Every structure is written in structure tokens, then in C-alpha cells.
Amino acid sequence: MTQEEFARRIQVTLSTVNRWENGHAAPSHLAWRAIEDLAKRNGADDELLGRTVLMAGAL
């Protein structure tokens, strides 16, 4: 999935996703919820989601 498609699916701007990926900003609580919902719709399980959130918190 491209950054553009990801941004559209979680309803944020492309520049927001770019800032997250470059470490200039972090997703808000609301954005994390949208990311989690998208991941679940695409087959991610709770264990993977938990590890992802833990890793993101370490950034």
C-alpha cells in the first residue's frame, strides 16, 4: 500500500504519514485507533498489533 492510499484509508493527509515515517511526528491516539482498525480489516491479529504499538512507543 502506498503512503497516499494509507493516508486516504485512515483519513489523514499524505504529509502527515510522511512526517510519521520520517520521525518528525507521531500518530495521535485517534490516528492509532484508525491504524489499528485498518490493520484488523487487513488481517492483523492482536499480538502483531500489540507489538507494533510497543515498538512505536519506543521511537
Domain that holds residue 7: 3-57
The pTM assigned to this predicted structure is: 0.74
Spell out the alpha helix ranges (H) of the chain. Answer: 3-10, 14-21, 29-41, 46-57
Q: pLDDT tens digits, residue range 14-57? A: 999 999 999 999 999 999 889 988 988 888 777 766 666 656 65
pLDDT on residue 44:
79
CA atoms within 13 A on the CB side of 15: 0
Q: pLDDT tens digits, residue range 1-22? A: 899 999 999 999 999 999 999 9
Instruction: Say how many domains are in the chain.
Output: 1
3 state SS for 27-43: CCHHHHHHHHHHHHHCC
